[in-house]
Structure 1
Amino acid sequence: MRRDSDQSYMVLKISSEAERICSLRQKQVESARKYVVDFYGTLTTQLGAGILMEYCPGGSLAQLLEERAPFSLGECVTALAPIAQTLSALHASGQVHGDVSASNVLLTAEGMPKLGDFQEARIASDQSVGSGTPGFMAPEVAACQIESRVGEQDVYSLGACLWFLLEGTAPPEPGQRPPITVIFPQIPTLIHELMLDSLHLDPRQRPTAEQFARTLFAAAQAEPIDWQHCTPTDSTHLMATVHPEVKSKHARVKLRKVKGPKKPSSAAQSHWQEHELHQTPGRSKVYLTVVGGISLIVVSILGVNLMGDQRNSTKAENTEPAVPVEDCRIQDAAVVPACAFSADVVIANFLKLSGERDAALEAKNIKALARIYPPASEQLERDKQMLDSLAELELGLSGLNTTLEDISIMARAHPDTVILSATSTQEAYDYINAKDQVVHRAASGAHERIQVELKLVEGQWKIGKLLGRGA
């Protein structure tokens, strides 16, 4: 449907249980609204009561798989990790979805996943047996068994969705499945274990939805979902433009932001604090793997090994401009002095900003971070998301330091932009808990050649976009 007042698109779903679903759904999404299809209200029609909902022009994951190859692991992280965290929030508040499947995960115009179809949703205290979608439904549902732990059947469905996205078909019946290492020889062992545990016949051996999300985040870096040429023709014009990554190491790459789900409500959060993550076979490694896996998140969200300089005396030497600052003061926005763009001044400012950024991230100082970026910076939002992710795990960073070598100016875009090239190396750093105890040490990263944009904003250099990276 399209509303005349603002020409916005909506979906009208006719349902004989519209009122019950709406009231239940309102309660369910209090702490997990971001990755759930928006609900606008009810409408009476000639065919009965209907629900007005958000229109997701990207269609469902199932529809997407009909038109393209199976997902990469990075795309699976984007598609399912936020859904798993959303389900975790629902389970923490005593709710279950009841019909998680690839057909019920929809894509917005920006390629963001949203969970829909709450027809089978219910509260955990409701002892009625639900149903589901064949291929994604837990075996005990067909046997009319009641859940012993909230959400264990949703977790089975998550595991089936992961299998479906990686293989292109739903998992076979338990007794007919080939060895998972034969079906998926290229994926990490951690994902093998995650699917085996999630699809376990014994519901008590399955991980929680929160464990499922953390393990996915730990296993791979999130990637934008490639929907090009796969969406319905009549909705393609509503989708955001996709800029596919070019393999050339000097190519300009547009980073797409993959947002994490909204933090749970205080009630849901307190529920998590009172209950430890359940132990399941193969899950003893999850905590350390998650902590170690945040290295991937840090690498991607920090801007892919962008900043840093040698601490102590080396940093002090590098940050001294070769040209007096007074001589490069910008008096008129229309007249930028040449010395402001000299290689020594630009590189010195880049190193200075790098050190300030590292210190701000360790101190979790958002205001200090904001001072090193231009207004409305996507990189600042990524830094905030990374700090939020660490805060949810009650972790911090210590010893964060990235060295930059062979720095050179690739191009100048008059009047306010310079593009730098540098070899970046992430040094080893620690994850620490609230008591400043080291819980994991991340090893040094590999060398990468990066291209970074620096911008002059009101006479001050600011870190702009990451334009490219390569070996």
Structure 2
Amino acid sequence: MNDSNNLLAWPTCPGYVTVRPLKAKSPCKVWLMRRDSDQSYMVLKLSSNAESICSLRQKQVESARKYVIDFYGTLSTQLGEGILMEYCPGGSLAQLLEERAPFSLGECVTALAPVAQTLAALHSTGQVHGDVSAGNVLLTADGMPKLGDFQESRTGIDQTPGSGTPGFMAPEVSAREPEGRLGEQDVYSLGACLWFLLEGTAPPEPNMRPPVTVIFPSVPTLVHELLLDSLHQDPVQRPTAEQFARTLFAAAQAEAITWEQCTPVESTHLMATVHPSEVRGRRRRRRSRRPQAEKGQKDYAAPEWRMHELRRTPGRAKVYLAVAGGVALVGVSFLGVNLVGERGQSESGTLSQTQERREPCRILDGAVVPACAFSAETVIASFIKLSRERDAALESEDLKALSAIYPPASEQFQRDQQTLERLDSLKLGINGLATRLEDISVTARAQPDTVILRATSTQEAYDYVDSANRVVHQVARGTRERIEVELKLIEGNWKIGKVLSREA
């Protein structure tokens, strides 16, 4: 089972929320975490020898901290110990080149010259990285390169041959030959990274490699020579990391790396490099709404179920009702798996034939929760069921059914209860309460048995009716909103927790 769908495979730790796996392979060892205290994002890398790696890691960054992934310590989870590190939302250079054209020479200067300087500092202290590759150079939120993954790092005294990334490691590494001069294998990897960024693929084997003047006709001769020297089969002919950096700086003016529309969608909002026109446009729209708020609109500081204002109706004064229909809690699909119907079909459709044949997840004992209860499909299906039960309970004014949807002492249940009490005092009911459901996904897992989901929804039009079932007010169809909601597993059953955020 893919770890993104199997929530039991997600590491948990008090004070942290597990957002998603950062590697596709299973079992996944690299996870995105969010710290509760300050909502900052970090990377957790599970490792059996976390302590020894961390000790070496701390020693290495003394003289080269700026362009190296920051290390925050270790974290204990139910899956074992892990290293807690800085999160770079821009992803790796390798990931970036999967989505865009090869780099310009100026972008190569920005991406690799600081990394070469960092390696020079490490080499001066007797340390080598051992696995420099485009996949191990990451971009921060500011578009700054940082070198990560020191798992293969070692000291100059340790002559044990390392490994590396195919296409980026020196020929003598495959032959398991020790280094003659400290750092010469890292320099070969730098040259391979430069080739990769300019061409889009790693350099071929030396005996199959075409002339650099043919592959890169538009780059300066200085860069041709740098590629030839760095990728030389004879390690003695390679420059030092410091010489590599100086040559690259001299070859071209540094340029900002273009990452727009190329970074992972789920990380784009964390990147600091935003087009100024887009920022100004958003600010203008926010300012245009402020005068309306000053005229008496209620400002909801905390996420809650939206209140609708009733207009004047014949024979009745203006009525204000806290109707719990403004938040959408349901969605159609998760990671391309259609839970309610085929893509494009309304959420009111029936389950597909494949899902009808699927064995349901049965929780027979609240003390023994089966693994299927933590599958993404089961969680989302439970979410859909709970939200529909909530709509039905509000429309039928069934307080008992409503209480079964929430955990004990739920603030949301208290709001819904107040809504029903207010409706009863006004001799009014609700008819046609429903939500339009789109794009639901599991976004995080928190400690102990809490899952966070995100969904887009639209509140469909509904009516307020009197005791004779006559319509006294119609509420128009609402706008699409993006919400984030907790789901809690209590005694083997999923319950709706807090509404964490909402935005139009």
Q: TM-score, normalised by structure 1?
A: 0.51
* 1:117 and 2:170 correspond: no
CA–CA separation in structure 1 for the residues paired with 2:188 and 2:36: 42
1:35-80 CA-to-partner distances (Å, cap 9, x unmatched) read 0000000012222210000000000000000000000000000000
Q: How does 1:297-308 map to 2 (within 5 A)?
A: none
Q: How many residues align?
A: 245
* 1:229 and 2:256 correspond: no
User: How far apart are residue 111 of structure 1 and its match?
Assistant: 0.1
Find 1:36's aligned residue among 58, 68, 75: 68
User: How far apart are residue 244 of structure 1 and its match?
Assistant: 9.2
User: How far apart are residue 242 of structure 1 and its match?
Assistant: 4.0
Q: How does 1:117-196 map to 2 (within 5 A)?
A: 117-196=149-228
Q: Could you list the runs of 5+ residues in structure 1 that have no partner in the other structure?
A: 246-471
CA–CA separation in structure 1 for the residues paired with 2:85 and 2:62: 16
User: How far apart are residue 16 of structure 1 and its match?
Assistant: 1.5
CA–CA separation in structure 1 for the residues paired with 2:251 and 2:273: 27
* 1:203 and 2:235 correspond: yes
Structure 1 residue matching 2:98: 3-state secondary structure: helix
Find 2:250's aligned residue among 211, 214, 218: 218
Q: Could you list the runs of 5+ residues in structure 2 that have no partner in the other structure?
A: 1-32, 278-504
* 1:241 and 2:273 correspond: yes
Query: Hey, what does 1:55 align to over in structure 2?
Result: 87
- Which amino acid in 1 is paired with 2:135? S
Q: How does 1:234-313 map to 2 (within 5 A)?
A: 234-243=266-275
1:83-137 CA-to-partner distances (Å, cap 9, x unmatched) read 0000000000000000000000000000000000000000110011100000001
Q: How does 1:69-84 map to 2 (within 5 A)?
A: 69-84=101-116
> Larger helix proportion, structure 1 or 2?
1
Bigger-Rg structure (1/2): 2
Structure 2 residue matching 1:222: 3-state secondary structure: coil
Structure 2 residue matching 1:230: 3-state secondary structure: coil
Query: Hey, what does 2:139 align to over in structure 1?
Result: 107
Structure 1 residue matching 2:34: 3-state secondary structure: coil
Q: TM-score, normalised by structure 2?
A: 0.48
1:295-326 CA-to-partner distances (Å, cap 9, x unmatched) read xxxxxxxxxxxxxxxxxxxxxxxxxxxxxxxx
Query: Is the 2:126–2:182 contact (alpha carbons within 8 Å) kept by the matching residues of 1?
Result: yes
1:316-347 CA-to-partner distances (Å, cap 9, x unmatched) read xxxxxxxxxxxxxxxxxxxxxxxxxxxxxxxx
CA–CA separation in structure 2 for the residues paired with 1:90 and 1:243: 36
Query: Hey, what does 2:466 align to over in structure 1?
Result: none
Query: Is the 2:74–2:81 contact (alpha carbons within 8 Å) kept by the matching residues of 1?
Result: yes
CA–CA separation in structure 1 for the residues paired with 2:137 and 2:276: 23
How large is the RMSD of aligned CA atoms in angstroms?
1.2
Structure 2 residue matching 1:44: 3-state secondary structure: strand
Moved over 2 A (4+): 241-245
- Which amino acid in 2 is paired with 1:51? I
CA–CA separation in structure 2 for the residues paired with 1:5 and 1:155: 41
* 1:25 and 2:61 correspond: no
Query: Hey, what does 1:93 align to over in structure 2?
Result: 125
Query: Hey, what does 2:479 align to over in structure 1?
Result: none
Structure 2 residue matching 1:67: 3-state secondary structure: coil
Structure 2 residue matching 1:62: 3-state secondary structure: helix
CA–CA separation in structure 2 for the residues paired with 1:137 and 1:16: 25
User: How far apart are residue 192 of structure 1 and its match?
Assistant: 0.3
Query: Is the 2:131–2:164 contact (alpha carbons within 8 Å) kept by the matching residues of 1?
Result: yes
Q: How does 1:373-384 map to 2 (within 5 A)?
A: none
Query: Hey, what does 2:17 align to over in structure 1?
Result: none
Query: Hey, what does 1:15 align to over in structure 2?
Result: 47
- Which amino acid in 2 is paired with 1:109? A
1:10-39 CA-to-partner distances (Å, cap 9, x unmatched) read 000001121121111111110100000000
Query: Hey, what does 2:37 align to over in structure 1?
Result: 5
- Which amino acid in 1 is paired with 2:246? R
